[in-house]
C-alpha cells in the first residue's frame, strides 16, 4: 500500500489506475481505525479493483466545544491496519493540503432537510462540514463506489442525498455497524470511556433493541416508545439527547412503514455516543 499526503501525489496514482480502466472504491475516515472501518475496506474490495482510504480529521465538522484537538490521531497504526486489510492507497493530507486557502472555506455544501434534527440539532454546522469535506474528497478521488458506516445513519443519508442532488457518478454503499460482544457500537470515541462507562455504554444498544422488539410486536406508539427509551438511558446515568423513531430516510414514522430506524444519542460522562438500529416490520 502506498501512502500519499498531497493532492498531486493522489491524483498521479489515481490517473494511472483510471487509465488502466480500474474501478475505484473509496472509504473516507478520520483515522483511529477499528474493525468497523476495516469492514469498509473489505466491502470496497468486493466492489472494485482498487480501494483508496483517507485519514483526515476534518476541522470543519467539529463545533467549537467539540473534541477536534483531542481526537485520537494514530496514523502509523492506521496505515498498518489498512495495508493488512488489502487497501491499495492511503490519502492522509494535512489540513493545509486539504484546505490550502484560509479557513473557513468560502464554499460550503449544505444538504437541507435531512441534515436538520437529530445530530443536526445538537451539532450545528456538523453536516455542512461533513458534506463539504466529502465533496472535496469525492472531487479528488473521483471514486466509482464510496463506503460509509451505517453507525452514522444520518451522515449516510446526507451523503446519499448530496450525491443524488449533485448528480455525482458515485454509488454510495452503507456498511453495517460493527459491535463489541456487549452490543456497544464500535467507535473511535469509545476510547474516551473508562472501564465502568464502557460496560454501561452497552445500554444504548439494549435500549434500541427493546424499542425494536416493541415495534415488531406491533406497537405504533412512537412517542411513548421514544420517551421510554429516554427514561431507560437516564436511569442508567446517561444524559440522553434524543431517542427517535424514523423511516429509513429519516422522515417521521408512519403506521404503514415496513422498515424503521431507531436512533439515539446520549452523553455518558463527557463522552457523546450515538447508535441506531434498523427494524424490519
Ligand atoms: O464518518 C467519518 O469518519 C467522517 O465524518 C467522514 C465521513 C470521514 C468525513 O470527515
Sketch the domain layout of the chain as residue ranges: 2-175, 188-280
- 28 C-alpha vs ligand 1 centroid, how far in Å? 6
Whether pTM exceeds 0.85: yes
Residue 158 CA to residue 167 CA, distance in Å, equals: 14
Q: Which phi and psi angles does 130 have, rounded to 5°?
A: -70, -50
d(CA 206, CA 185): 11
Q: How many CB atoms lie within 10 A of CB 35?
A: 13
Does the domain formed by 188-280 have CATH 3.40.50.1110?
A: no
pLDDT digits (tens, 9 = 90+) for 78-134: 999 999 999 999 999 999 999 999 898 999 999 999 999 999 999 999 999 999 999
- The minimum-distance atom of ligand 1 relative to the CA of 61 is 10
Is the Cβ–Cβ distance between 36 and 149 less than 8 Å? yes
Q: Name the CATH architecture for the domain at 2-175.
A: 3-Layer(aba) Sandwich (3.40)
8 A C-beta contact, residue 232 and residue 203 = yes
133 lines ligand 1 (CB under 6 A): yes
Q: Which residues contact 256 (CB under 8 A, 6 or more apart)?
A: none
Contacts of 208 (CB under 8 A, 6+ apart): 229, 262, 264, 275, 276, 277
> pLDDT 10s digit of each residue in the chain, 281 long?
999 999 999 999 999 999 999 999 999 999 999 999 999 999 999 999 999 999 999 999 999 999 999 999 999 999 999 999 999 999 999 999 999 998 989 999 999 999 999 999 999 999 999 999 999 999 999 999 999 999 999 999 999 999 999 999 999 999 999 999 999 999 999 999 999 999 999 999 999 999 999 999 999 999 999 999 999 999 999 999 999 999 999 999 999 999 999 999 999 999 999 999 999 99
> What end-to-end distance do the CA atoms of the chain give, in Å?
43
Catalytic residue among 37, 42, 101, 167: 37
Dist. CA 206–CA 229, nearest whole Å: 10
Q: Of all protein residues, whose CA lies closest to atom 3 belonging to ligand 1? A: 29
* Residue 29 alpha carbon to ligand 1 centre in Å: 5
Q: Could you tell me the sign of the dihedral formed by the alpha carbons of 86, 180, 203, 65, in that order? A: negative
Can 37 be counted among the known catalytic residues?
yes
Q: Are 169 and 141 in contact, with CB atoms under 8 Å apart?
A: no
CA of 55 from ligand 1 middle (Å) equals: 9
Place of cell 448528480: 167
Does ligand 1 lie within 6 Å of residue 136's CB atom?
no
CA distance 1 to 101: 29
Amino acid at each position: 500500500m502506498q501512502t500519499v499526503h498531497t493532492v498531486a501525489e493522489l491524483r498521479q496514482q489515481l490517473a494511472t489506475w483510471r487509465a488502466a480502466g480500474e474501478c475505484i472504491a473509496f472509504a473516507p475516515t478520520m483515522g483511529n481505525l477499528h474493525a468497523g472501518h476495516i469492514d469498509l475496506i473489505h466491502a470496497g474490495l468486493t466492489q472494485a479493483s482498487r480501494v483508496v482510504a483517507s485519514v483526515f480529521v476534518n476541522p470543519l465538522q467539529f463545533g467549537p466545544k467539540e473534541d477536534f484537538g483531542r481526537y485520537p490521531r494514530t496514523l502509523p497504526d492506521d496505515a498498518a491496519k489498512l495495508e493488512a486489510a488489502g487497501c491499495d492507497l492511503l490519502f492522509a493530507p494535512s489540513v493545509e493540503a486539504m484546505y490550502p486557502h484560509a479557513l473557513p472555506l468560502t464554499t460550503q455544501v449544505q444538504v437541507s432537510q435531512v441534515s436538520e434534527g437529530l445530530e443536526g440539532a445538537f451539532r450545528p454546522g456538523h453536516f455542512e462540514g461533513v458534506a463539504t469535506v466529502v465533496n472535496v474528497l469525492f472531487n479528488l478521488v473521483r471514486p466509482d463506489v464510496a463506503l460509509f458506516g451505517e453507525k452514522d445513519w444520518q451522515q449516510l443519508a446526507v451523503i446519499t442525498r448530496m450525491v443524488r442532488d449533485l448528480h455525482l457518478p458515485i454509488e454510495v454503499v452503507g456498511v453495517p455497524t460493527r459491535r463489541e460482544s456487549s452490543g456497544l457500537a464500535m467507535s473511535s470515541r469509545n476510547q474516551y470511556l473508562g472501564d465502568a462507562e464502557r460496560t454501561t455504554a452497552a445500554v444504548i444498544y439494549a435500549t434500541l433493541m427493546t424499542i425494536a422488539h416493541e415495534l415488531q410486536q406491533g406497537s405504533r406508539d412512537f412517542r411513548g416508545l421514544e420517551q421510554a427509551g429516554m427514561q431507560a438511558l437516564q436511569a442508567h446515568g446517561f444524559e440522553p439527547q434524543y431517542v427517535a423513531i424514523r423511516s429509513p430516510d429519516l422522515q417521521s414514522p408512519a403506521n404503514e412503514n415496513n422498515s424503521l430506524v431507531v436512533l439515539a444519542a446520549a452523553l455518558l460522562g463527557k463522552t457523546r455516543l450515538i447508535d441506531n438500529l434498523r427494524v424490519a416490520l
